[in-house]
């Protein structure tokens, strides 16, 4: 594998212990990807194109999914991971801490439970916001616009 050069082997070992945000940062450093969050810039546009590309591949993998076919399970899992990867890259490009954002969104989502600690669902099974819902506070994670 091309990444098996001494420096990249160390990078691979380091990322195995790192958060997803740290992995995104290390990947960008190893591949010399410069951040540019100016709307319309090449890097800004590339991040969106990569998210759209990976999202499309997730949809294709869902469409190809077969209950008893291991290869389709592996393909879907890989595409989901690729989508998360490019989302972390986009956040890193913007200078945003997506790990902390995910923690806050998770806490916010837990506040959707009703007063008895039960989820409220619509007819399709989607969990709805309950009376105790608190939106995540993210303002402090976004650099001044």
Q: Are 90 and 101 part of one and the same domain? A: no
Q: Are 79 and 104 part of one and the same domain? A: no
Q: Are 59 and 82 part of one and the same domain? A: yes
Tell me what the mean pLDDT of segment 131-145 comes to: 88
Expressed as residue numbers, the domain containing 10 is: 1-32
pLDDT tens, 33-72?
Answer: 999 999 999 999 999 999 999 999 999 999 999 989 999 9
Q: How many domains does the chain have?
A: 3
Q: Are 104 and 91 part of one and the same domain? A: no
133-141 LR contacts (CB < 8 Å, sep 24+): 133/108, 134/108, 135/108, 136/101, 136/104, 136/105, 136/107, 136/108, 137/104, 138/101, 138/104, 141/96, 141/97, 141/100, 141/101, 141/104
Q: Are 103 and 59 part of one and the same domain? A: no
Q: Are 89 and 56 part of one and the same domain? A: yes
pLDDT for position 18: 85
Q: Are 74 and 61 part of one and the same domain? A: yes
**Residue 6 pLDDT > 60:** no
The chain-wide mean pLDDT, for the chain, equals 90
**Residue 107 pLDDT > 90:** yes
The highest-confidence range among 26-30, 36-40, 75-79, 140-144, by mean pLDDT, is: 75-79
**Residue 4 pLDDT > 60:** no
Q: Provide the whole-model pTM.
A: 0.85
């Amino acid at each position: 594998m091309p990444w098996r050069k001494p420096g990249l082997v160390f990078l691979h070992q380091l990322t195995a212990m790192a958060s997803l945000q740290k992995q995104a940062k290390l990947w960008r450093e190893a591949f010399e990807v410069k951040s540019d969050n100016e709307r319309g810039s090449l890097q800004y546009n590339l991040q969106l194109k990569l998210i759209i590309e990976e999202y499309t591949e997730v949809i294709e993998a869902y469409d190809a999914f077969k209950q008893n076919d291991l290869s389709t399970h592996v393909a879907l899992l890989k595409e989901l991971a690729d989508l998360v990867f490019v989302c972390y890259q986009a956040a890193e490009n913007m200078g945003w801490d997506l790990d902390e954002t995910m923690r806050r969104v998770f806490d916010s989502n837990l506040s959707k439970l009703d007063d008895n600690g039960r989820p409220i669902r619509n007819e399709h099974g989607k969990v709805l916001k309950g009376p105790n819902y608190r939106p995540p506070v993210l303002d402090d994670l976004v650099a001044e616009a």
